[in-house]
Amino acid sequence: MTDVQLRLKSHKTKKRIKEGFKYVIIIFAAFVMLYPLLWILGASFNEGANESFFFWPHDFTLIGWKEALSAPGWGSAEGYSLLRALWNTLQYVLPHVIFGTLSTLITAYVITRMHFKGKKLVFALVIGTLLMPNTIFRIPMYAFWTTPGISELWDGNTTPFMGYLPLWAGSLFAVNSFSIFMFIQFFRTIPRDLDEAAYMDGANKLQVLWYVLLPVLKPIVITVALLLFIASFNDYQGPLIYVTSAPFFPLSRVLPMLGLDSTNTYAHVYARSIVSVSILIIVFFAAQRYFVGNDADSAIKG
């Protein structure tokens, strides 16, 4: 081979090694990220504690899965099951997501599409509260919700959704500044001509939002809803301090107690945990095509 050919060949090999190296890093990282999940899945089919690194179960058993939905051991003749805990969870997650998305959408709409006195102040306050740590609000809100007059409204209330009022009441009033912020950023990318055209046809503000802008906003609405869903579904401290009676326990209160009763095996614990997060997985995959790649882009620019 000539000099040039040799150099070309070594260059190509170097390139391939670099390419391969990329994949090695990525695959190794992905493995480290996902293996614990795989291990947990394997352990849910294993009788007794899985004392090895390998995820494949050595004492295969289906009992964890068969009894995944039934009384979690700390239950009783009344049968507090995982399904019940799931319903309890939905009782605050659903209102939180629905009201939260709507109220922040409307607020962002007003800030970006309408003129009014004090708009700058409102915008500044939204951005200001964006970075405010939640802990500062927790204690006073707790004191508020547990004052004798008010606590009767929700504590022990068996009407659907009402028993969890403190966990979603805020969503009615656009308290999630990050969602407002994301909506604002997205609104800014939609040209006003769209609005103008609709006004010329005689539409009012609400109709413009609903019929004209919403179809365009669909990705961001789904994104915001998904983020609210994830945050609310995973909330631990909230239910911990507000929900104190066993029949009302949502998933995040039930799951930490799973290992503590003698009628559970490890398989039960793992299987039940997986069942609980399966909702998250399903919702995530359903909304994913709108979400991944969309939100951050428009949200952060500018």
Partner 1 sequence: MKKILTLAISLTFLLVLVACGTQGDDDNTISFAWWGTSDRNIATYQAIDLFEEKYPEYKVVGEQSPWNGYQQALNNKLNRGTEADVFQVNYNWIYSMYGEDYFMDINDLGLDLSKYPADEHKPLTVNGKILGLSVSETGYIFYLNQKVYEDAGVSFDDGARIIPETWEELMTAGQIINQNDPTKYAIGRLDSQQIAILMFSYLAQIYGKNVINDNNQFNFTQQELVEGFNFITDLRSTGVLIPSNAIDTHIDGPTNPNWTSQKYGGVLQWNTAISEYQNTLPSTANLVMAGMFQQEAGQTLGMYKKVSMAYAVSKRVEQSDAKKEAVKTFIEFMTTDPEAVAILGVDRGVSSNSDTQAILKAAEGKNFESSLEWQGHEVVQMMYNYQITQNIHLYIHPYYEHNTFRAIYEAPIESFLLNNKNANEAAIAIINLFNTELSRIMEG
Partner 2 sequence: MVGEKKWVPYAFLVPWIIGFLLFKLYPFISSFVMSLYEKRGRVSTYVGLKNFQMIFDTSTYLGSEFMNSLKVTFVYVFITVPLILIVSLLIAYVLALKIKGVGFFRTSFYMPTVLGANVAIIVLWRYIFEYNGLINQGLKLLGISPISFLGTASGAMASIVLLRVWQFGSTMLIFLNALKNVPESLYEAATIDGAGKWRQFLSVTVPMITPIILFNGVMRLVETFQVFNGPMLITNGGPERSTNVLNKLIYDIAFQGGDLNVGSAMSWVLFVVIMIFTILIFRSSKYWVHYQD
Q: Map the footprint of partner 2 across residues 181-210, applying CB under 8 A.
A: 199, 204-205
* Contact flag: residue 256 with partner 2 (CB under 8 A): yes
DSSP at 211: I
Smallest gap from Cβ 253 to partner 1, in A, equals 8
* Contact flag: residue 10 with partner 2 (CB under 8 A): no
Number of residues that bind partner 2 (CB under 8 A): 83
Report the site for partner 2 in 35-54 (rule: CB under 8 A): 36-37, 39-40, 43, 49, 51-53
Which residues are 46's β-sheet partners?
60
Smallest gap from Cβ 271 to partner 2, in A, equals 11
Smallest gap from Cβ 202 to partner 1, in A, equals 16
By C-beta, is 1 or 300 nearer to partner 2?
A: 300
Cα–Cα distance for residue pair 210/215, rounded to 1 Å:
8
Block residue for tokens 């995040």 = 252
* Residue span binding partner 2 (CB under 8 A) among the ranges 6-14, 147-155, 214-222, 234-242: 234-242
Contact 272, 72 (CB under 8 A): yes
Pick the binder of partner 2 from 101, 107, 232, 264 (CB under 8 A): 107
Smallest gap from Cβ 240 to partner 1, in A, equals 8
Smallest gap from Cβ 38 to partner 2, in A, equals 10
* Contact flag: residue 286 with partner 2 (CB under 8 A): no
Cα–Cα distance for residue pair 108/213, rounded to 1 Å:
12
φ/ψ bin of 293: left (φ > 0), alpha (ψ from -120 to 50), beta (otherwise): left
* Contact flag: residue 214 with partner 2 (CB under 8 A): no
Pick the binder of partner 2 from 188, 201, 236, 247 (CB under 8 A): 236
Supply the Cα-derived Rg of the chain in whole angstroms: 26
CA atoms within 13 A on the CB side of 289: 2
* Contact flag: residue 65 with partner 2 (CB under 8 A): no
CA atoms within 13 A on the CB side of 171: 23
Other CB atoms within 10 Å distance of the CB of residue 6: 10
Q: Residue 30 burial (CB < 10 Å; 0-12/13-18/19+)?
A: exposed
Smallest gap from Cβ 163 to partner 1, in A, equals 8
* Contact flag: residue 172 with partner 2 (CB under 8 A): yes
By C-beta, is 73 or 291 nearer to partner 1?
A: 73
Which residues are 60's β-sheet partners?
46
